[in-house]
Amino acid sequence: MAIKIYKPTSPGRRIHSVTDYSVLDKRVKTPKNLIVAFKKNAGRNNQGKITVRHQGGGHRLKARVVDFLRTDKLNIPAKVQTLEYDPTRSGFISLLAYRDGEKRYILAPDGLKVGSEIVAAPRTDVSAGNRMMLRNIPVGTYVHNVQIDRTQGSSVARSAGSYAIIVATEGESTLLKFPSGEIRKVSSESYATVGQVSNIDWMYVRIGKAGRVRHMGRRPTVRGKAMNPVDHPHGGGEGHNPIGLKYPKTPWGKHALGVKTRNPKKASSKFIVKRRN
């Protein structure tokens, strides 16, 4: 994919760029059973209290039902019908038409063409869009939509441009290397899709103006040092001052930087072979 830059007709437009969507299919008739109303809670819990700040507003969205697992369609070939935009995710999606007549959405890998045929099977060809067990994928292959836990759906490498590299397969486990540098051990019987998630240049898009951020549902973030002492530990003082504390704090007085959030007692921590850089 490419990045589109417009003529600088205004200060916001000058540093503004967007993803080039000309490669996507326009005016696609989405199956009604694959559209779900997407209700936003604006960061509030079931009591109406804000638990996640800076959320609210944004454009009304309708989510597409994406099949992340595809294991109930093993050995059934499917034809790629469309390459579409999904308003609720950064990567593109593709509509598959299976030979048994069913249609489903999947995450579109980079390089997938409309009209090509893909399949999910324990072992199949190593080509973009095919899904198979990790033990049958060669070392050095890019994969995405990885199933970390065999009892659950795929949960890793699903955003635009994401991928994992197969480093080695040893018995019942496969080593995956992520762009962060982390190397993780995963079951060799877990499924993954060959290729890298589409819309690779998404990370280079420049928002350009505040209004575009509000369309995404993100509200303004006020600096703590700009507040009063009653509202934030960094607040108070005349004019511009440093925070004047031993360490940066959250609005509730806890450490704000350098805090380890991973629980070493969690089951997933023992599968990390090498920590991220």
Q: Tell me the whole-structure pTM to 2 decimals.
A: 0.89
CATH number of the CATH domain containing 261: 4.10.950.10
CATH for 158: 2.40.50.140
Is residue 214, in this structure, part of any structural domain at all?
A: no
Domain C-terminal end among 203, 235, 257: 203
Is there a single domain that holds both residue 241 and residue 141? no
* pLDDT computed for residue 177 by the predictor: 95
User: Based on the domain organization, do 138 and 31 belong to the same domain?
Assistant: yes
Single-letter amino acid code for the residue at 258: G
List pLDDT tens digits, range 114-123.
Answer: 999 999 999 9
Domains held by the chain: number = 2
The answer to whether residues 24 and 156 belong to one domain is yes
Q: Is residue 212 part of a domain?
A: no
Exposed e or buried b per residue across 58-94, where buried means at least 16 C-beta atoms within 10 angstroms of its C-beta: eeeeeebebbbebbebeeebbebebbbbbeebbbbbb
Residues 183 and 245 in one domain: no
Q: Say if 95 falls within a structural domain.
A: yes
Element (H, E) at 104: strand 103-107
Residues 171 and 236 in one domain: no
User: Does 248 map to a domain?
Assistant: yes
Residue 34 CB contacts under 8 Å (≥ 6 apart), including other chains: 64, 65, 103, 104, 105
Task: Write the burial class of residue 47 (CB in 10 Å: 0-12 exposed, 13-18 middle, 19+ buried).
Answer: exposed
Q: For Cα atoms 57, 61, 67, give the angle at the middle one, nearest 5 degrees.
A: 135
Both 186 and 58 in one domain: the answer is yes
Q: Are strands 17-19 and 164-170 parallel, antiparallel or unpaired?
A: unpaired
Per-residue pLDDT of the chain (277 residues; tens, 9 = 90+): 589 999 999 988 998 999 999 989 888 888 899 999 888 899 999 999 999 999 999 999 999 999 999 999 999 999 999 999 999 999 999 999 999 889 999 999 999 999 999 999 999 999 999 999 999 999 999 999 999 888 888 889 999 999 999 999 988 899 999 999 999 999 999 999 999 999 999 999 999 999 999 999 999 999 999 999 999 999 999 988 898 889 999 999 999 998 888 787 776 778 888 888 7
d(CA 73, CA 90): 25
Query: What is the C-alpha to C-alpha distance for residues 109 and 130, in angstroms, rounded to an integer?
Result: 10
**Quick check: is 215 in a domain?**
no
210 in any annotated domain: no
Q: Please check whether residue 215 is in contact with residue 208, taking contact to mean a CB–CB distance below 8 angstroms.
A: no
Residue 33's domain spans which residues? Answer: 3-203
* pLDDT (0 to 100) of residue 271: 85
Quick check: is 62 in a domain? yes
Task: Give the domain-ending residue among 171, 203, 235.
Answer: 203
Tens digits of per-residue pLDDT, 26-70? 888 888 999 998 888 999 999 999 999 999 999 999 999 999 999
Amino acid symbol at 70:
R
31 alpha carbon, distance to own chain's centre: 23
Determine the Cα–Cα distance for residues 123 and 101; give it in Å rounded to an integer.
Answer: 23
pLDDT of residue 26: 85
Both 173 and 236 in a single domain? no
Tokens of 69: 């697992």
Do residues 239 and 140 share a domain?
A: no
